[in-house]
């Protein structure tokens, strides 16, 4: 699970990263641009709201990379509670 600093979201289904947070509804309705990426941290900004979110990846075995999340990339957060159960 990803632990989020301040407000947060999910990176995307292809990343295998999940989110641990209380959904606010609108966080999943907005698109975000990648501002910065480090191996364990992704910073994004809401296109509409301008809110800056920091997503922390607690799995050091699966680092985030600038190749996967280049600055300026447009992403949409997904709600893991809406995913079908296995």
Q: Is 77 exposed, middle or buried (0-12, 13-18, 19+ CB in 10 A)?
A: buried
Q: How many residues does the chain have?
A: 86
pLDDT, tens digit, 9 for 90 and up, residues 31-68: 999 999 999 999 999 999 999 999 998 788 999 999 99
Show Cβ contacts of residue 82 under 8 Å, excluding neighbours closer than 6 positions.
none
Give the bridge partners for 33, in sequence order.
Answer: 45, 74
Phi, psi of 55 (to 5 degrees): -110, 125
Could you tell me the two tokens for 76?
A: 């949409």
- What is the pTM assigned to this prediction? 0.65
**Rounded CA gap, 81 and 70, in Å?**
27
């Amino acid at each position: 699970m990803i632990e989020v600093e301040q407000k947060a979201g999910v990176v995307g289904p292809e990343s295998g990263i999940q989110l641990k947070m209380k959904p606010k509804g609108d966080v999943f309705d907005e698109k975000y641009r990648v501002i910065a990426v480090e191996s364990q941290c992704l910073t994004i900004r809401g296109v509409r709201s301008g809110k800056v979110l920091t997503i922390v990846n607690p799995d050091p075995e699966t680092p985030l990379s600038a190749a996967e999340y280049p600055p300026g990339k447009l992403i949409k957060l997904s709600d893991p509670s809406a995913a079908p159960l296995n």
